[in-house]
Structure 1
Amino acid sequence: MQLKKISLIMAILSGLSACGTTPNSTQQTVSTQTQVNTAPVVQDMDAVALLARALEKDGATRIQLLYNAREAAITEQNWQVLEQACIELESKASVDHVQNKLYVALARKELGKYESAHEILQSVNEKLKLSEHKAWHQYLKGSIFASQKLPKKALVHYFQSADIAQQNTLAIAGLDAEIWAALQQLSSYALERFDRGSVIQQGWVKLAKYHQVYLGSTVQLHQAMNNWQRRYKNHPGSFIIPTKVKSDINLAPYEATKLAILLPQSGNSERLGAALKNGFLAAMDRSKISEIHFIDEMDSAELIERSLQEIQADFIIGPLLKSNVVKVKRSGFITSSPAIFLNEVDASEADRVHSEHFYFALNPEHEVEQAMVHFLAKGYQKPMLLAPNTPAGKRLIAHFEQQWQTFSETTPEIGFYSNTEDMVKVITELLEVDSSKTRIKEVRNLFRSEVESETRSRRDLDAIYILGDAIETRLLKPYLDVNVSTFAERIPLYASSRSYSKQIDKTDKGDLEGLYFTELPWMLPDAVNERNLRDTYSRLWPEQADIEQRLFAMAYDALNLIPELKQLSRIPGKEFEGLTGALSIKEANQIHRKLIWAQYHKNKIRLVSLDERPPTPLFMQNTE
């Protein structure tokens, strides 16, 4: 980030400022220079002081001091002063207004005012005449897409900016660093799709591919970088090699051999600890781990610390319970050791991010986000969400609504139920079937003869998402089938992994035909290639509950993640295919899970691939 800021200062002063040298501004440049000779000395004044001094002056002196304040603000990264100085300059006829607006967009982008910055860029679309303006416009637009976690769309603009810069020998500060950062967000599949276009683009993409494939393999990565340099001489990505890439060449993976694992071995959660232990022991067969020490996470912090000091493990996994994660985070041994916690902590507890502490939770919010992304990719405008009237149900609904508002102007329909009777009432009210029945009754009262009728449900709903458990889902779906009008198209039904139960499914699939749901690969038949592991598990623990099976998979993945952690943390687009899903590391060292989609079809479960294109924020829609 610091490299980006330093480069940004240099190029804006030498690049964008040069944009003002147009035939119409030549006379003003001369007169301004004359004024500088008589103006007060400003070399030792900061941006704030320069802006204050400018506001006290008039004429050319005011303009020159505003220019000085603008440049000082960039140097100091004082984006508020940059914005204010630019706004003051907007009223001056002699100012290059396109350049000045680009400065304002830059300031607002840096201040996190992305919507405002994007509006400014849209307003100057038809006024871009100079190459410098066009290159910076594309760069800033790409930066806003990147800020919205849309690296693919960001790269489209970044590469356009890079091509313009190369063709016109321009220096666009920050561009190279942001191209590299965006490329790190892409999967290997996405990188392949970008491996086309100009030589600049292909060079960047190949550099990212080599880095992703060989990261952690010192000899191979070094050889790949040398080959790349010979093929792409004088490529702008060359600066990455001596800084970003070379710093990763010696990024050796964790090679832990002695583990300390904290899990519940007493109290109400003892059976959960037993399920985790089974997963850890099963994973040892394919790992380099030679020694595992299990510690009861229910022990006091002092006793846990003493155990850790005695064991002197080179990696720690656990605890499972959130309260115990908070308890042990302050342990002296854990503070100085790499660790995977099997839960998350609240923002208030995450006072700082330890670079070698990772958080792995079976977080239902990940599923909610995944479903929402699919709904938006399908173009659904009015989903209906059904959830139990519990703190967990309310939390997940609130999470969906909060995310949805970023991408859609519509409001989803929400229904909370407390019991079976409540389910019927909620569904009929949300689908407005009760209103249809009232109208039918009124019509029948008008006529003595028999009136043929059928209730109609509302037609604006285009998806229904169930956040109930397996039993609740099996009760809800028939109600939905009955109450959706036969005159309307069938509304697609979706559910989370809570709706699926291997135990219940063995004897009762119910009338779940057509229902889509997300689930851990380990829980579904034929979703993972670990046939021997599956057979062994089924033989040893044929009657284990769903939660125990999920925890087994979680423990198995946690141990196998250890040698992958450094690569996953350096390359956000890299994924590890585990029993719990496709795992990647996002911000704050959170291990993110992407589950698989499945569907009930002809009394069986089949795996399906659903559209999950990242959505574009509302303020950026309809502008591409």
Structure 2
Amino acid sequence: MVQNMLLFSRFSRTIALVLCISLISNCSQMATDNRQRGSQIDNPYTMPADAYLALAKNQQGAEKQALLILAAGQLIYEGQWKQSANILAQFNPLSEDLAKEKLLLLAKIDLIREQPNAAISKLAKINNISTIPAYYQIQFHEMLATAYFITKHPVESVHERIKLENILPNEQTKTNNRLALWMALSSLSEPEVSVLAAESPDDENMNGWVQLANISQKKFKNPQDILAHLQNWQAKFPNHPGNYILPKSQNDLSNYLFPEPKKIALLLPITGPISGPGNAIKDGFIAALENSPNRYNINIQTYNTNGENIQNLYNLAIQDGAEYVVGPLTKANVSEVAKLAHPVPTLLLNDADVKPKNNAYQFGLSPANEARQIAAKIHKKGMSRALVIAPAGTWGKDIIDAFASQFRTGGGQVVETFYFSPDDDLTNSIRELLHVSANDAKRKKEKPEKGHNKPLRREDFDVIFLVAYPTQARQIVPLLKYYYAGNIPVYATSNVYSGSTNVSKDRDLNDVIFCDMPWVFSHQVGGRNWPEQFNSYNRLYAMGMDAFALATQLNQLLLFPAVGINNKSGIIYLNNGQEISRILVFGKFVDGTAELRPYL
């Protein structure tokens, strides 16, 4: 059995939830889990919202208010937060307990509406939280933890999750909370972790988490040193909840941990048709090396994969003494190397058609992983009916399959998928997709007659998921707006953004929301005139830098559920498919510029 199966089989059922927490806009997940799992904590929402509203019609005073509060809460779970907000705006004053419940629901709506600071303000008005039922206490601390995390206050988020540990009802919800807490810790720099330790000298629970975070951030030249530090930590904190996020059989992993490499092989296309991406990754890798304190102790040897037998080239690198291999890049080459035995850690830079053998890890710019995170994000936003637009062919279908699978997991439905081809008449195709008649299209600029309520487009969807490169997206997005869908949010993979600012062209993408690595929003290291299907120079450059960082952080990924990686790819984690994946951030096109939007 491969090593990461030993490590993360127990995380495979919970990592999706942790991803949702990092993308959160409606943080009722733990309370929702409670009612789904039959927890001992009583859930107040036992009927559909319509049933509460019907009962409220026959009641007066406090009884009516209580039923309306229950209806408002249930509506949020049903994705109808706007209707919930309308109900909550109808009455005041309330009893103390009902006022607290109302504030909780309003805070939840604030998070859905991307207003975490407003949520924090409302939650701050709730006093004596310990006097309300445990169900609401959980929601209070969970929402605060989430709001603090997405407003860049991870320390406060950690404090709230430590409080949650003592009131969560079962091991599953505690595991989810511990993983979310670890995500917050992973976003802290080493100096920030040290400050956190200094602020809580007498808090054993906090000290345990802080010391564990310190171990995950240190660079260990000898792999046995990290195991020794972990064993010392466990001896010092034998009953700490952090023990539950660590692998149980650490000694079995010693054969898979490796010392800091002194000789690294890069297997990249340096010449030929895809030399651009190959050299971008190499540029980023070399830049990271030159900024490393160990730069004089590491020897880099590059092997040009263009036109070569990739298995022979990989074996040659091993024979030449490589202790860490980065590459190859193309999917075909990656699949060939994945079949081989890997005597040294090997970082494959694309998806493989086969599951890699031990000691090989897939690390690429995966649009399928992006699609899953977008699906989770959309679900958290309360949207459940998606219209999907993607390029025809295997590449587009694979991305849509990943999106649809994750979306269905959250109860969502893909209403229709439109696969476009290069020779399509997009004007007519988008019009037909939106069910806009030819006559309606002709009179688009005319105002409907008074009292005319006939919709000019289909209304069976509440979100659009778009997979397209910039050139295609700049045609599709304006057409969506032209044919009456301008009020529908559009989410896209990172492919929609070239990676370089182009205000005049990207104005056509205004309001499109997309996910990407943090590096892209804060760095413009250059651009290249190459086909947009190659992905941006910025992203590939950052991936090269990350590939170097993993030379010293791969051991931590084997031992911890996630680590922060120099604020380039965000938080990364290793799943049980031997894939290193990123938790990405979201941005939005505003006035032709891609802007990081941490609250999205």
**TM-score (ref. length: structure 2):** 0.59
Q: Secondary structure at the match of 2:376?
A: helix
1:299 corresponds to which residue?
A: 308
Amino acid of the structure 1 residue aligned with 2:472 = E
- Could you list the per-position Cα deviations for residues 160-214 of structure 1 after superposition, in whole angstroms to 9, with x for gaps in the alignment? 6889xxxxxxxxxxx6x99679735643527999x9xxxxxx8667544432322
Structure 1 residues 434, 520: CA separation in 2 closer, same or farther (over 3 Å shift)? Answer: same
1:278 corresponds to which residue?
A: 283
Deviation, structure 1 residue 504: 7.8
Of 387, 390, 395, which residue of structure 1 is paired with 2:393? 390
In the alignment, structure 1 residue 339 sits paired with structure 2 residue 346:
yes
Cα separation, 2, equivalents of 1:239 and 1:424: 55
- Could you list the per-position Cα deviations for residues 201-255 of structure 1 after superposition, in whole angstroms to 9, with x for gaps in the alignment? x86675444323224669899789878867x787798899997689999997741
- Could you list the per-position Cα deviations for residues 479-507 of structure 1 after superposition, in whole angstroms to 9, with x for gaps in the alignment? 1112117xxx8212222222112568254
1:108 corresponds to which residue?
A: none
Cα separation, 2, equivalents of 1:580 and 1:364: 14
Deviation, structure 1 residue 342: 1.0
Of 586, 608, 615, which residue of structure 1 is paired with 2:575? 586
Cα separation, 2, equivalents of 1:236 and 1:603: 46
Cα separation, 2, equivalents of 1:213 and 1:604: 37
- The RMSD of aligned alpha carbons is 4.9
Cα separation, 1, equivalents of 2:261 and 2:510: 46
Cα separation, 2, equivalents of 1:452 and 1:439: 17
In the alignment, structure 1 residue 498 sits paired with structure 2 residue 498:
no
**8 Å CA contact retained: 1:367, 1:496:** yes
2:402 corresponds to which residue?
A: 399
Of 374, 379, 382, which residue of structure 2 is paired with 1:379? 382
**8 Å CA contact retained: 1:568, 1:575:** no
Of 348, 360, 364, which residue of structure 1 is paired with 2:363? 360
In the alignment, structure 1 residue 509 sits paired with structure 2 residue 506:
yes
1:424 corresponds to which residue?
A: 427
**8 Å CA contact retained: 1:382, 1:413:** no
Amino acid of the structure 1 residue aligned with 2:470 = A
2:178 corresponds to which residue?
A: 183
- Could you list the per-position Cα deviations for residues 450-471 of structure 1 after superposition, in whole angstroms to 9, with x for gaps in the alignment? 9999972233422222211111
Structure 1 residues 342, 383: CA separation in 2 closer, same or farther (over 3 Å shift)? Answer: same
Cα separation, 1, equivalents of 2:403 and 2:497: 20
Q: Secondary structure at the match of 1:484?
A: helix
Higher helix fraction: Structure 1 or Structure 2? 1
Q: Secondary structure at the match of 1:337?
A: coil
2:562 corresponds to which residue?
A: 573
1:214 corresponds to which residue?
A: 215
Cα separation, 1, equivalents of 2:506 and 2:361: 38
Q: Secondary structure at the match of 1:256?
A: coil
Amino acid of the structure 1 residue aligned with 2:462 = D
Of 540, 549, 558, which residue of structure 2 is paired with 1:551? 540
Structure 1 residues 437, 364: CA separation in 2 closer, same or farther (over 3 Å shift)? Answer: same
Cα separation, 2, equivalents of 1:465 and 1:420: 21
**8 Å CA contact retained: 2:285, 2:544:** yes
Structure 1 residues 553, 433: CA separation in 2 closer, same or farther (over 3 Å shift)? Answer: same
1:521 corresponds to which residue?
A: 518
Of 598, 602, 617, which residue of structure 1 is paired with 2:587? 598
Q: Secondary structure at the match of 2:563?
A: coil
**8 Å CA contact retained: 2:186, 2:562:** no
**8 Å CA contact retained: 2:266, 2:301:** yes
**Unaligned residue ranges in structure 2 (runs of 5+):** 2-32, 43-134, 136-157, 189-195, 197-202
Q: Secondary structure at the match of 2:261?
A: coil
Structure 1 residues 207, 244: CA separation in 2 closer, same or farther (over 3 Å shift)? Answer: farther
**8 Å CA contact retained: 1:386, 1:417:** yes
Cα separation, 1, equivalents of 2:325 and 2:583: 24
Deviation, structure 1 residue 419: 4.8
Q: Secondary structure at the match of 1:187?
A: helix
Of 430, 437, 441, which residue of structure 2 is paired with 1:434? 437
Cα separation, 1, equivalents of 2:494 and 2:460: 26
Cα separation, 1, equivalents of 2:282 and 2:187: 40
1:466 corresponds to which residue?
A: 466
Structure 1 residues 424, 455: CA separation in 2 closer, same or farther (over 3 Å shift)? Answer: farther
Deviation, structure 1 residue 390: 2.7
Structure 1 residues 123, 321: CA separation in 2 closer, same or farther (over 3 Å shift)? Answer: closer
Amino acid of the structure 1 residue aligned with 2:211 = Y
Cα separation, 2, equivalents of 1:376 and 1:181: 18
2:336 corresponds to which residue?
A: 327
Structure 1 residues 600, 308: CA separation in 2 closer, same or farther (over 3 Å shift)? Answer: closer
**8 Å CA contact retained: 1:280, 1:559:** yes
Structure 1 residues 224, 411: CA separation in 2 closer, same or farther (over 3 Å shift)? Answer: closer
Deviation, structure 1 residue 310: 4.2
Q: Secondary structure at the match of 2:502?
A: helix
